[in-house]
Structure 1
Amino acid sequence: MKKIRSVMLLGFITLTALSPIQYINADTSLSKANSVSSKNLASNDVAQLTSIKVHDIEIYTGDSWKPKDNFDNAMVNGSLLDYDSFIGSSGTVDTNLLDREGTPGIYSVTYKLNGVESVAKVTVLENQLSIIGRNVEGYVGDAVPEDSEFKAVGLDYDGASLPVVIDKSRINMNKAGNYVVFLTIHSVVRPGFTFAHMVSVNVKEKQTAVKSHDSTIYVGDTWKAQDNFDSAVDKAGHAVDFSKVDVDDSKVNTSKAGIYAVTYSYDGAISTSKVTILDRQTSVKSHDSTIYVGDTWKAQDNFDSAVDKAGHAVDFSKVDVDDSKVNTSKAGIYAVTYSYDGAISTSKVTVKDSQLIIPNIDLPLNNKKSSISKAPHRFSEVKSVQLNKSSLPETGEESGVVLTIYGLFIVVAIGAAILYKKKV
């Protein structure tokens, strides 16, 4: 009977030694309340608790961390425990890192089991993983943007520069639209990890345009290509200065009548205008005249007409006149010049000395008719003429002067008649 009891006691002890430590359910945020005191273990169990093995790690802000990440294994009574068995064997984890993975720093993590502790460090580094790039705009017909236009920069977790792979396969530069471009980097710190960023290429319709107009000028006129130019805009619709527009006016000849083409072009847009050059019709007409010393004269007396290059009548007020040499107080022949827009006409003004003209008048003397012309020797300086139509003043002569002379003639004639009568 004693032998049976001894066998049963030995079997119980053996069963107890080989049985695993009691599991205590615990959360990964384990508290010290989950610790198991070494007093609960038999002395031989404590002696056989070998160790808790952990390691330090580095993570980056934004990473997900679990206490299991630093745990290697635990040895209890020669049995190797993984993290789940460690927790199941009343192991605990004490740390101030939880919920602070986004804050750079160094944090301690303490693992405990049966009175044995092991501490690991978790270093949280600033995560610099990023891709910087910009959107690009283009226009239908443009070349596909160069990689450099995206200004792409890639950084690894530790801030080290990484090459950026730019995928432009979706771009169609022949059609307006918004096209996606992927920028990708491959981490060196964490091999196999790929990070991508998306930018775009906006392809717009071109607004490039050049406008010009036709014109008509006359032979000899001053002309320049800018006279027919209206405007130009670039592909974005911004105004373009004339100095940036290509012009072909090589065929224009302002010294010869004709129709000439002028071409304006900018960034593929073209406008062609015509310059029509006509012969000039400009002319000035005037005539010569004769007046007498003391007559009133003005330049408009000798002016006939003037027309501009288009053949339109020009008012005398717009005609340039040079009559500076005319002297109506002195007999002579004087030139008067009329000019307008290159056309010139010169006329002569003949100024003659004044002469007394006595009409042939019959006077009754002693019932006889007598003519003043019978005594030419008494008035040798007087010219005898018949008072007829031909002796009237001609165009340009002053009728007032002639009337005055006639008055003198009558007085002289009456005086002569009286003298003649007395002698008879």
Structure 2
Amino acid sequence: MFRQKFFKVSLALMLAGNTFISTAANHYAEEVAEQEMSVPQDEEKKDDGKIDNTVTSSPENNEEQLPEKIPEEATTTPLEPVEPSEESPVDETIDIPIAEEVTESSPPENVLMDEQEKTAINEQKEKATESTDIAKDTDLASGTYGTSPWRIDAQGVLYIDGGELGEATMSVRAPWYIYRSSITKIIFTAPTLANAHSLGLFFDMNQVTMIENLEYLDTSHVGDMRYFFYWCSKLTNLDVSGFDTTNVTNMSYMFYGCSQLVSLDLSTFNTSNVTQMGSIFCDCHSLTSLNVSSFDTSGMTNMSYMFYNCSELTTLDISNFDTGNVDDMSHMFRSCSKLTQLDVSGLDTHQVTDMSFMFYGCSGLRALSLQNFDTAKVLNMHYMFYNCAALTSLPVEGFDTSRVTSMRYMFYGCHNLTDVDVSNFDTRNVTTMSYMFYGCSALAAVDVSNFATPKIKFMNYMFTNCSKLKALDISAVSTGALEEMNQSFSGMSQLSTLTLGPNFQFLSEANLPAIPTVEPNTGYWQNVGAGTVAIPKGDHILTSDQLMATYTGTMADTYVWQKTLNLESISVKDATLYVNDLWDPADNFISATDKDGNAMDFDPSMVTGTVDTSVAGITPITYTNGSASQVSTVTVKENLESIVIRNSVLYVGDKWDPAANFVSATDKDGNSLAFDPTMVTGDVNVKVPGNYQVTYTNGSASQLAEVTVKENKETIVVKDLTIYVGDTWNPADQFISATDKAGSPLFFIKEMVSGVVDSKKIGTYKVVFRNGQAEQQTTVTVKENKETIHAKDSTLSVGDSWDPLDNFLSATDKEGKSVPFEMNMVDGSVDTSKVGIYPVTYKNGRKSVSVFIHVVKKETNSKPKPPNQNGQTPTDNTNNQQTTTPKATTKPASSTTNEGKNLPKTGERHSFATALGFGILAVALTLIYKKDKKSK
């Protein structure tokens, strides 16, 4: 009875388990299939092998540069100042043949046409082919340019038929270029697509008077329009209203030399991508109307020569110009001589570096609003207002000229200018001021008292013909670098007050006008001295020539025309001496006369100044006789004795060696000398920070050396350290930071350490860390290592599970404090599926203990095993034997990441269900058996 019941229950459990497993497996398989079918499209696209071939190209910004070359000043002085002409070397920046250009911009690649566009062009091409056959025998030339047929008939008419034109670049011209002298007219016969590279498409068509059907020319793909109509000098009318300039980046020289064009309407031009417009309207000298009011100039960098020689323009509206990126405005409005007004107040000039020739020859301008000009980056201002003859004032007081190097001809020929405030001009970098105020004949005053000129080289004709200037203060002018001053003061017939400074010296041909000898003038200049401009009391009384010849910095003062008459005079001569010679002032004296003209003997009281013959040089000595004075120049030739030293830097505590500052020395004959301690005068206290001056002397030569003693910032910061017996002592573990003498951080190096630590012995050790003069003592404490670990042997039966914790008893750290068990303490494994003795090592720091795990054969009908240390009862798994290793070293099966995703193979679900059924049956039999046994 029992057996029948047992088998029925078992069979039912097997069938239920098999059904459950099959259903679950099928359901899971469907889910996995659905997930694989729903891969996102984005993921699929990643590997479809397709590449995005879209290319976006933009023109390179390679505008040909036409720098304004600043010509060298003439080495000879002309008898009369020459006004520069177009052919003169004063301006060499305009006429550069196109053949000499070497840079090209790269317009965008041709945009591909769609099929409709291609069909239309091919149809026009067929029509053009028919038309070109009409007079083929009489044509001067014909051909196909790109896909566009073209021909030149016997009358010089260039016919351009439909298609797409070929490239026109610096090296490849349009095919009709070589026939340009024969072409008088151009006719487009059908829609034609211009190439992206269309530089100089109609370059130098100097005989063409008309272009018909220009609206057929599609310029939507063009990126480069440089030289497009360059020198089409006979064109009187040009309609470019149909031009699509959206892609154009360069319009330089586009209408250059179209000298017969009267009007030009560019209101439809889209210039949003244009960066270069240099010389675009240059030499369009017949233009009376030019509409550029709609120009978008926000991207432009070059506007040089833009309206050059548009000499018939009377108005020009540039109020909408955005010039924030423009760096070159040279020659921009040059020779626009009929402009009477020009609003430049809105120009943003903060990036401009060149304003030379900007308003050159704008002789009709009556006013200019320059208050908003930012000139902080401007280098060149030469010829800027040249011959702006109608201007009466110029608001340049706000100009920042700190970077300007050239101011020559700046206000040349502004002969109606009565007011120009240049008092704030910073001229420290200016090298030339030639002709700067030439011909400003209406100027009654100009304040140049702040003109510091340490770099000035040329001042030729600077104030020439400023005939109304009565006073001039050039006391700040330095002529140390000056090379020429030709005619700088020529024509200043009313200049009666002249202030000269300590760094000024007249050069030859400066031509300070002679003082007219009419009452009450004596013909002499006299320095004010202790007097006033009205009543001078100075001792220097000189003619203009004498003042130019003898003036030195020691005579700095304000000079005025002397108004009284006397015959006091003195005449002296120059002298040449050698170092250490004796100088006698009487040797330089020639003659003198009193007020009545009577001869006088030399008197030592006539001499002001002395000559130091111990040093080579030129010394001006003033000889004075009453109101007369003259300067004698005494030249002391160089003694070749020399000494060269150098400055040095020390730190507090260093040792100073005077020889370290010595570089070289020579005797009177120029022979080298070795260092001698007797050369040194002075001492250095290396214990106190400061700057010390030490004199090195070699005969008549001496030089000061500066020895700087700085605070010594050497430091070192370390810390104490505790280690345990057996540990390795590393001094770097104690290092925190260090700095050198200058305070810069240093890395640890073993040379800093002094001392030894025996890490095998308990104790306290003193270790010194040194960095230069800085040191710190530290303590290294070696303590007893109280690390321990205890474990026990154990016995298991085959099939039991081994837990390393079961064998662990206790452990302590280096301080003797108890530490809990961790899996990384265990080294070894136990195979509980096999009988054997397995050694396992338990480690804690430097301590370790080995135990043995005995795996024995499982006894049959054995009693239940007692619980282990974790309160768990070992189970008898003789049919599921395994090797047990510490959990820390147990790795999951390599297929764990995919076990939930692999679909069961055919038959696997059934086998698994059957196995599970037998398992459940075994458990049921065991339970029934135990129950039956108890009931008995």
Q: Tell me the TM-score normalized by structure 1.
A: 0.53
Note the C-alpha offset of 1:262.
1.0
Residue 822 of structure 2 corresponds to: 316
Residue type at the aligned position of 2:762:
A
Cα deviation per residue 1:280-339 (whole Å; 9 max; x = unaligned)?
22222222333322222233332334443343625422213212xx34234444433222
Residue type at the aligned position of 1:69:
D
- State how 1:77-226 maps to structure 2 within 5 Å: 125=637, 131-143=643-655, 145-151=656-662, 153-154=664-665, 165-187=678-700, 195-226=701-732
Identical positions, percent: 32
User: Equivalent of 2:865, from 393, 396, 400?
Assistant: 393
Residue 341 of structure 1 corresponds to: 845
Q: Do residues 277 (structure 1) and 277 (structure 2) align?
A: no
RMSD over aligned CA atoms reads: 4.7
Q: Do residues 290 (structure 1) and 802 (structure 2) align?
A: no
Residue type at the aligned position of 1:197:
Q
User: Equivalent of 1:231, from 713, 737, 761?
Assistant: 737
Partner SS for 2:732:
helix
Q: Distance in 1 between matches of 2:592 and 2:729?
A: 96
Note the C-alpha offset of 1:229.
2.3
Q: Distance in 2 between matches of 1:232 and 1:400?
A: 65
Residue type at the aligned position of 1:273:
T
Q: Distance in 1 between matches of 2:810 and 2:760?
A: 26
Moved more, 404-413 or 174-183: 404-413
Q: Is the 8 A contact 2:799 2:876 kept in 1?
A: no
Note the C-alpha offset of 1:254.
0.8
User: Equivalent of 1:355, from 852, 859, 866?
Assistant: 859
Cα deviation per residue 1:239-293 (whole Å; 9 max; x = unaligned)?
445447442223x111122221111223332211111122222222222333322
Q: Is the 8 A contact 1:337 1:346 kept in 2?
A: yes
Change (3 A) 1:408 1:290: farther
Larger Rg, first or second structure (1 or 2): 1
- State how 1:401-420 maps to structure 2 within 5 Å: 401=876
Q: Is the 8 A contact 1:356 1:405 kept in 2?
A: no
Name the structure, 1 or 2, with higher relative contact order (CA <8 Å, separation 6+).
1
Q: Distance in 2 between matches of 1:67 and 1:172?
A: 45
Q: Is the 8 A contact 2:719 2:735 kept in 1?
A: yes
Q: Distance in 2 between matches of 1:309 and 1:401?
A: 41
Partner SS for 1:28:
strand
Cα deviation per residue 1:325-363 (whole Å; 9 max; x = unaligned)?
x342344444332223232222333333333448xxxxx
Residue type at the aligned position of 1:211:
V
Residue type at the aligned position of 2:571:
T
Residue type at the aligned position of 1:175:
V
Residue type at the aligned position of 2:840:
V
User: Equivalent of 2:769, from 264, 280, 288?
Assistant: 264
Listed as ranges, the gaps of 5+ residues in structure 2 are 1-566, 602-610, 618-633, 878-922
Q: Distance in 2 between matches of 1:394 and 1:407?
A: 24
Q: Distance in 2 between matches of 1:237 and 1:284?
A: 50
Partner SS for 1:226:
helix
Change (3 A) 1:262 1:356: same
Cα deviation per residue 1:368-417 (whole Å; 9 max; x = unaligned)?
xxxxxxxxxxxxxxxxxxxxxxx652234845449999986776899xx8
- State how 1:46-57 maps to structure 2 within 5 Å: none
Residue 253 of structure 2 corresponds to: none
Residue 570 of structure 2 corresponds to: 27
Residue type at the aligned position of 1:393:
K
Change (3 A) 1:332 1:141: closer
Q: Is the 8 A contact 2:826 2:840 kept in 1?
A: no
Q: Is the 8 A contact 2:572 2:591 kept in 1?
A: no
Listed as ranges, the gaps of 5+ residues in structure 1 are 1-23, 31-55, 72-81, 92-100, 105-121, 188-194, 359-390, 418-424
**Greater share of helix:** 1
Residue 303 of structure 1 corresponds to: 808
Aligned residue pair count: 286
Partner SS for 2:776:
strand
